[in-house]
Homo-oligomer: A and B are copies of this chain.
Amino acid sequence: MVQSQQKLDRELVRVQDLTPEMADKVIWLRARVHTSRAKGKQCFLVLRQQQFNVQALVAVGDRASKQMVKFAANINKESIVDVEATLRKVEQKIESCTQQEVELHVEKIFVISQAEARLPLQLEDASRPEGEGDEDGRATVNQDTRLDNRVIDLRTTTSQAIFRLQAGVCMLFRETLTKKDFVEIQTPKIISGPKCKYNVYLPNLYWQPWVKHETFCLPVFFRAEDSNTHRHLTEFVGLDIEMAFNYHYHEVIDSITDTMVQIFKGLFQTEIQTVSKQYPSEPFKFLEPTLRLEYTEGVAMLRQAGVEMGDEDDLSTPNEKLLGRLVKEKYDTDFYVLDKYPLSVRPFYTMPDPSNPKYSNSYDMFMRGEEILSGAQRVHDPQLLTERAIHHEIDLEKIKAYIDSFRFGAPPHGGGGIGLERVCMLYLGLHNIRQTSMFPRDPKRLTP
């Protein structure tokens, strides 16, 4: 066990750096035993570091004894080992490894951390494309087994790629907004008073117009409602934007859609391809500028497709998906904005449409037919805000601090909150949000 007994001056090489250029060098390496196969006087190991792996050969001869080969053959999969080895070029490409042109001839091998012999799931099984197991009897791993053993499931190349992409979404979100002169702020999660109608908690809005003109934040949200669906979690990460605008809330929509487009464009292609090998999906399409439809247009498209609904009815989830398909057919985009929602289906702090009081200055954004953002111009006038709260039968005492915050001059402003896990799921064409949450939480899952 490495207990920091000594400071070794020994350099450890990364698997991804093992290329023919380094051939014939003697190197030290720390990696996991991915697979192990003994064959007479030889033992073939595949050594893995995150998404990279290399073949290693322990063979009886000058450098290794019979005991050492036996020892190597008995190391459990997923154990972490240190090896000293000579890197050799190979004649024939090793198709099963990422480092195809070289292999390691091992001279020394030490076990740094021994894994238990029985793994609760096999990485090969967890890495198999969906459905493939069914055909030829090879196993795949179901969602619950994966999540119960997330520590191992997260080691697959696909998982590694998903969470690298998620980090990329966060980074691109921040970079784009910082360039636009937004400032990142930290908002409180502990708040007094219960939630308002429509399941919207005030803290989403807490900080809106107060501090800076343009702010963004990556808060964590907790949801007490139904989270048993493929797209809900009891805990999720929000990418929140709020900004003052000059004349029209479409300035806000433009800022958000531009940020989304920068994210779509900036994401790492290698990781996207890695995920699509296990979970194939149509490449994600988007337009520049982003398509913006009015709610009434959306309703008209749905009616033309046979859906019966009133002008001011909210969209059901199936109708959102259907509309997504219709929009894709007509405009060839997986990303669009639906603008001017009926006022009656939006929270009290939503600014009514000045030209038609049935509608509002609010919008949702969709990826592959599923909502990823809900936003609006917020009412910034304390008088109108009070009226709207009364209309929604909200206890004014409980939102006093919120209303009062507008009494000392507040600019017109708007924004929205993007669900990080949803953006990752939908961009990659995955079908369950638990795949894009590292340790997902839902009403049935509090561990690991």
Name A residues whose Cβ lies closer than 8 Å to a Cβ of B.
1-8, 10, 12, 30, 32, 49-50, 76, 78-80, 112-116, 119, 150-152, 154, 160, 163-164, 166-167, 170-171, 174, 178, 183-192, 206-207, 210-213, 218-220, 222, 234-235, 237, 246-250, 351-352, 354-355, 361, 377, 380-381, 384, 401, 404-405, 407-412, 420, 437-441, 446-448
State whether A186 and B222 are in contact (beta carbons under 8 Å apart), knowing that A1-B381, A116-B407 are contacts in the complex.
Answer: no
Q: How many copies does the complex hold?
A: 2
Interface residue from B30, B190, B246, B410 paired with A235 (Cβ < 8 Å): B190
Whether B167 lies near A439 (C-beta < 8 A) is no
State whether A409 and B113 are in contact (beta carbons under 8 Å apart), knowing that A170-B184, A178-B171 are contacts in the complex.
Answer: yes
Whether A190 lies near B222 (C-beta < 8 A) is yes
Whether A8 lies near B246 (C-beta < 8 A) is yes
Cα separation A114 to B380 with both chains bound (whole Å): 11
Query: Nearest Cβ distance between residue A398 and chain B, in whole angstroms?
Result: 10
Whether A151 lies near B408 (C-beta < 8 A) is yes
Whether B186 lies near A438 (C-beta < 8 A) is yes
Q: Which residues of B contact A355 (CB under 8 A)?
A: 5
User: Which residue of B is nearest A420, CB measured?
Assistant: B186
Query: Nearest Cβ distance between residue A142 and chain B, in whole angstroms?
Result: 19
Query: Nearest Cβ distance between residue A68 and chain B, in whole angstroms?
Result: 20
Main secondary structure of the interface of A (DSSP, over half): loop
State whether A115 and B407 are in contact (beta carbons under 8 Å apart), knowing that A234-B190, A438-B186 are contacts in the complex.
Answer: yes
Whether A171 lies near B174 (C-beta < 8 A) is yes
Cα separation A8 to B384 with both chains bound (whole Å): 24
Cα separation A5 to B412 with both chains bound (whole Å): 12
State whether A4 and B441 are in contact (beta carbons under 8 Å apart), knowing that A50-B213, A212-B160 are contacts in the complex.
Answer: no
Query: Nearest Cβ distance between residue A399 and chain B, in whole angstroms?
Result: 11
A-B contacts, 17 of them at CB < 8 A, read A1-B384, A2-B247, A3-B354, A4-B248, A6-B247, A114-B409, A154-B211, A160-B212, A163-B212, A164-B183, A171-B178, A189-B220, A189-B235, A190-B235, A192-B446, A207-B439, A218-B218
Q: Which residues of B contact A250 (CB under 8 A)?
A: 4, 7
Cα separation A50 to B411 with both chains bound (whole Å): 13
Query: Nearest Cβ distance between residue A320 and chain B, in whole angstroms?
Result: 25
Top-3 shortest CB links A-B: A2-B412, A115-B409, A192-B446
Cα separation A377 to B1 with both chains bound (whole Å): 12
Whether A171 lies near B154 (C-beta < 8 A) is no
User: Which residue of B is nearest A221, CB measured?
Assistant: B189
Whether B408 lies near A116 (C-beta < 8 A) is yes
Cα separation A80 to B6 with both chains bound (whole Å): 64
Cα separation A404 to B447 with both chains bound (whole Å): 12
Q: Which residues of B contact A112 (CB under 8 A)?
A: 411-412
Query: Nearest Cβ distance between residue A248 and chain B, in whole angstroms?
Result: 4
Q: Which residues of B contact A218 (CB under 8 A)?
A: 218
Q: Which residues of B contact A235 (CB under 8 A)?
A: 188-190
Query: Nearest Cβ distance between residue A39 and chain B, in whole angstroms?
Result: 24
Q: Which residues of B contact A411 (CB under 8 A)?
A: 30, 80, 112-113
Cα separation A112 to B411 with both chains bound (whole Å): 7
Cα separation A189 to B174 with both chains bound (whole Å): 22
Query: Nearest Cβ distance between residue A179 and chain B, in whole angstroms?
Result: 12
Whether A361 lies near B410 (C-beta < 8 A) is no
Cα separation A130 to B118 with both chains bound (whole Å): 65
Cα separation A164 to B8 with both chains bound (whole Å): 42
Q: Which residues of B contact A354 (CB under 8 A)?
A: 3-5
Q: Which residues of B contact A166 (CB under 8 A)?
A: 185-186
Cα separation A441 to B361 with both chains bound (whole Å): 33
Whether A78 lies near B211 (C-beta < 8 A) is no
Q: Which residues of B contact A170 (CB under 8 A)?
A: 184
